[in-house]
Chain A
Amino acid sequence: MSTPVLSVRDLVVEIPTRHGILRPVDHVSYDIHAGEILGVVGESGAGKSMTGNAVIGLLDPPARITVGQILLSGEPVHALKGEKLRRLRGKRMAMIFQDPLTSLNPLLTVGEQLEETILEHMNVSQAEARRRAVAQLEEVGIPAAEARIGSYPHEFSGGMRQRVVIALALCAEPELVIADEPTTALDVSVQAQIIALLKRLCRERGVAVMLVTHDMGVIAEAADRVAVMYAGRLAELGPVREVLTRAHHPYTAGLMASTPLASQGRKRLVQIPGAMPRLGNLPQGCAFHPRCDRAQDVCRRDPGPTLDAYRGRAACWFPLNTEEKAAT
């Protein structure tokens, strides 16, 4: 297989606090290949956004990467700082934020923001930058792009603004896009359009996309593979169909059971008992064991097999849905 666009290897992010060191990302490994969408799913505080921020080098101090590697097309980028890191951002990896209302500068026109980004990363003239900006807006589906390029962000609707944000992220043709909850702040009908747009751009340009979300529907719709995170650790990693239909990790199974589906009619939704533990207060062993009905002694002692990018699917001692494999 070709070199993945993004390889996260054994990544640990730590935040030193007065009450000890917190570990919002704990030995996480995965790959994303060109043209592939990896969905990263989990509850608030599971470390999914933190992983994205770590990749693009936007961790807010004092959070920092303490262990592990981040490889962008094989090159290590986790130790880059300052100017070298800045040159990569936008040019080779880009990020899309949750709220299109706040991610655009209200005092600069859409065109100014696009042209600025293009001029920063590409060796083109002002006129060429403008032409590309218009083309980029057209590509993300802004009607009358030529006329709207001089508009300010507040003159666009929420969905259109998110399209502008996507155009901004993609305008310097990055290899990797980290989309951090790109649809959470949008209407449901607009959500589907934005997801479709992301999918189309990913396929057409061969961009690797890391789609961070807490919405299982979005994952099912868009992702090729899915990484389920729980309390900073990777709980399960695998192709989206398999993970969604035949979850190995009890947490994933619980998430699926608690997702409302129209096909199930008006049944009462299943809840996972309890809540995700706070980072400063993780139980020993597997972080999920207090909420897990399959937990045994070993789960309380040992955090379970670590998932890496190549082996294993669920970080669980007693995975579900593995009968046929166990039989062989």
Chain B
Amino acid sequence: MLAYIIRRIGQSILVLFVVGLVAFSMFRFVGDPVDNMLGQERTQADVERLREQLGLDQPFVVQYYKFLEQAVQGNFGLSYRQGRPVAEILLERAPATLELAFVSGLLALAGGIGLGIYTAIRRRGISANAIMTLSLVGVSLPTFLIGILLIYLFSVELGWLPSFGRGEVVDLGWWTTGFLTVSGLKALILPAITLGLYQMTLIMRLVRTEMLEVLRMDYIRFARARGIREKSVNFRHALKNTLVPVITITGLQLGSIIAFAIITETVFQWPGVGLLFINAIQFVDIPVMAAYLMLISVMFVGINLIVDMLYFAIDPRLRVDRTAGGH
């Protein structure tokens, strides 16, 4: 088990390394940061000097090496645009994104698993079929469109909820939270739904499919033949068996909630890291882009690792030492 974890962490580091390499090789195609930084009035000498100063005259492999060297020491450099340390900027923006992702993730998980079970058990019911049909909307409509539709309905037409921003936030020193004010909570609702809806419908459809599959298994039949209560059959016997594939997908989906927050944050002008990244791309702010991409990959790799650990917790068959043969 421990050996497995260590091996996985080793693999994770390799993945991060490759992600960074690919990212760096692509930054040069995004544009030239020097253009933005020097403005219209500039000489060729200015450009050369700045390039050299930023290390942009070197091949990307060298740039990447320097970035790594600094990054392992926790130093992600200075933002080209703001002139402040990238780590500081990211930390400042992270609470907004994490709170949004947390609420959306919760919504997606609770709603997805709950509705998935419901539609599987009441497979032939009218409401279950209605939910399934509606879920097609969630799967097929693009996120930004859902966001815009929600803004149109609840902000413009009904005027119930704010259409942009984070509302009032409370500063806890190292963390700013919108959970503690009414306007902060109200501001969370629309972006959280926008961000979580796709994941929710995806999880719901997945749980439903898996659940239907499991409900056909012999051990479910046998449990019924032994007179086990429906509730116990559904939740104790069936649900647990659907969890392994569900956790795999759900874990990745939760990762992408944070990664794809970019779109939602843009639509709702949410002051999180996604919006920061979009602005960084426009300005070709390489240190910010690099740090953001590394952050997202660390998150994905971390979630994957947790998911693998969860398999062990759920499925006893995996706990057997592989050398024992596993019969």
Chain A residues with CB under 8 Å of chain B are: 56, 58, 86-91, 94-95, 97, 99, 102-109, 116-117, 120-121, 152, 154-155, 157, 165, 168-169, 172
A-B contact pairs, 9 of them (CB 8 A): A58-B225, A87-B227, A90-B226, A94-B225, A97-B218, A104-B222, A107-B316, A117-B227, A165-B222
CB-based contact A117/B228 at 8 Å: yes
Chain B residues with Cβ below 8 Å from A120 are 226-229
CB-based contact B226/A106 at 8 Å: no
Chain A residues with Cβ below 8 Å from B223 are 105
Q: Mark B185-219, 1 if CB is under 8 A from A, else 0.
A: 00000000000000000000000000000000111
CA distance A152 to B326 in the complex (A): 12
Q: Which of B221, B225, B230, B237 has the most CB of A within 10 A?
A: B225
Chain B residues with Cβ below 8 Å from A116 are 228, 232, 236
CA distance A102 to B221 in the complex (A): 10
Chain A residues with Cβ below 8 Å from B230 are 86
CA distance A104 to B223 in the complex (A): 8
CB-based contact B218/A99 at 8 Å: yes
- Shortest CB-to-CB span from B126 to chain A, Å, is 17
- Shortest CB-to-CB span from A243 to chain B, Å, is 29
Q: Which of B224, B230, B240, B327 has the most CB of A within 10 A?
A: B224
CA distance A155 to B326 in the complex (A): 8
Chain B residues with Cβ below 8 Å from A121 are 227
Closest residue of chain B to A106 (Cβ to Cβ) is B317
Q: Given the interface contacts A157-B327, A168-B222, does A105 sit within 8 Å of B228 by beta carbon?
A: no
CA distance A154 to B315 in the complex (A): 11
Chain B residues with Cβ below 8 Å from A102 are 217-219
Chain B residues with Cβ below 8 Å from A106 are 219, 241, 315-317
Q: How many residues of B contact A (CB 8 A)?
A: 25
By DSSP majority rule, is chain B's interface helix, strand, loop, or mixed? helix
Q: Given the interface contacts A103-B222, A105-B237, A107-B241, does A90 sit within 8 Å of B228 by beta carbon?
A: yes
CA distance A56 to B221 in the complex (A): 11
Chain A residues with Cβ below 8 Å from B221 are 58, 97, 103
Closest residue of chain B to A82 (Cβ to Cβ) is B230
**8 Å CB contact of A90 from B217, B225, B315:** B225
Q: Which of B219, B221, B320 has the most CB of A within 10 A?
A: B219
A89-B224, A97-B221, A107-B241 given; 14 more Cβ-contact pairs under 8 Å? A86-B224, A87-B227, A89-B226, A90-B225, A106-B241, A106-B315, A108-B237, A117-B227, A120-B226, A120-B229, A121-B227, A152-B317, A169-B226, A172-B226
Q: Given the interface contacts A105-B237, A106-B315, A106-B316, does A97 sit within 8 Å of B222 by beta carbon?
A: yes
Chain A residues with Cβ below 8 Å from B314 are 107
CA distance A169 to B240 in the complex (A): 22
- Shortest CB-to-CB span from A96 to chain B, Å, is 8
CA distance A105 to B316 in the complex (A): 11
Chain B residues with Cβ below 8 Å from A90 are 225-228
- For the complex of A and B, the 5 pairs showing the least CB-CB separation, nearest first, are A90-B227, A89-B227, A90-B226, A102-B218, A95-B225
Closest residue of chain B to A104 (Cβ to Cβ) is B219
- Shortest CB-to-CB span from A121 to chain B, Å, is 6
CA distance A163 to B151 in the complex (A): 62
- Shortest CB-to-CB span from B2 to chain A, Å, is 22
Closest residue of chain A to B224 (Cβ to Cβ) is A58
- Shortest CB-to-CB span from A223 to chain B, Å, is 21
CA distance A155 to B317 in the complex (A): 8
Closest residue of chain B to A180 (Cβ to Cβ) is B225
Closest residue of chain B to A169 (Cβ to Cβ) is B226
